[in-house]
Amino acid sequence: MKKNLTKVMAMGMVLTMLGTATAFAEEATLISATETTSIETIMAEAQEAAFVSQSGKVVSVEASFTEGVQLVTINNEQGGLRFAVDSNTIVVNREDGAYLTAADLTEGMEIAVVYDAFSPMGMSMPPYLGKVTAVVANADAGFFTVGHFDNDLTDMKNMLKLNISENTDIQNLQGAKIRLTAEDVKGQDALVFYGATTRSIPAQTTPSFVLLLTNNEKAEGEMTGSRAAEVEVTDAAEVTDAKEAVMVPLRKTAEANGYTVKWQGKTKPILLEKDGVSMEITVGSDTYVVDGDMAMKAAMPSELKGGVAYVSSEIFK
């Protein structure tokens, strides 16, 4: 009987310790600015979230074969990551919320990379990600999180609730030409910089900076529907090794080669015309049609990502 009682007491102590460790772990997920997770955890979170992030130290910043594009490599416990940064990539300084450029990313700097959860990754080591949504420079200088916030401004894990004040700087990927408010954050995916939190569940905080990661119709003004899908970035986004084919922004590249571009909606081909020659490119297909009846095959299928149409570069060669 005494032995059994001793076993019961020992088991109780183990369960108590596990419970304490679990509570501490849950709290740590809120306050760690450079938390590292396993590949399995990242993939599990990707199934739930539209955007995910990885942190690590910059190993190298190199010029790519595409003018204006820098290839950045970071090292972390997941094996690292390699991605592209150009003049249009959002780079935010965690220290003060100021916008930086790719030139400000230096070797040894702790950064966080925010990217679409369903972004394709190359099979190289470290994996190649292509262009990312945002980069947080000096990520170890304060707390931040990436998540989807509901109408109560609580993230979908019920871990953090935002109490947005008039001093909170709210931006979108287009630079927020109008003033954004807490209403614009509701139902959105966002990168959030914050400081102290309450010890409640969910923890509450007044963020200093919020970057909306999805297109906000109000912030876009008149740019809605099919027009929003025509938003273009200025430089190429590489999706494979630099020595192989690359994906380039359709409109910019076509116009640089003398084509006119007509967007006809997501369900219809994009029409390109030049000197009496026409091309029809269908998003999601690796086949494009020349002069209405000549089917040609591209190295990679075209895609629509972040409101930008990309095509395989050899189409214009």
Give the three-state DSSP class for 135.
strand
Long-range contact set of residues 279-285: C-beta below 8 Å, sequence gap at least 24: 279/315, 281/250, 281/309, 281/311, 281/315, 283/309
Q: What is the pLDDT of residue 139?
A: 96
DSSP tag of 142: S
Q: Is the pLDDT of residue 243 over 90?
A: no
- Domain 144-221 CATH class label: mainly beta
Q: What is the pLDDT of residue 37?
A: 45
Q: What is the pLDDT of residue 186?
A: 95
Of 2.40.50.140, 3.30.420.40, 3.40.50.300, 3.30.40.230, which CATH number belongs to 39-141? 2.40.50.140
In terms of C-beta density within 10 A (0-12 exposed, 13-18 middle, 19 or more buried), how is residue 183 classed?
A: exposed
Domains 144-221 and 231-316 share a fold: no
Domain 231-316 has CATH 3.30.457.10: yes
Task: Work out the pLDDT band at 64, boundaries 50, 70, 90.
Answer: confident
* pLDDT tens per residue, range 276-306: 788 899 888 888 888 776 777 888 888 888 7
DSSP tag of 122: -
Place of tokens 């630099």: 242
Domain map (residue ranges) of the chain: 1-31, 39-141, 144-221, 231-316
Find the length of the chain.
317
How many other C-beta atoms are found inside a 10 Å radius of the C-beta of residue 151?
A: 9
Place of tokens 């032995």: 3
Given a contact cutoff of 8 angstroms between Cβ atoms, the answer to whether 90 and 69 are in contact is: no
Q: Tell me the pairing of strands 247-249 and 128-131.
A: unpaired
DSSP tag of 316: G
* pLDDT tens per residue, range 171-190: 988 766 568 899 999 999 99
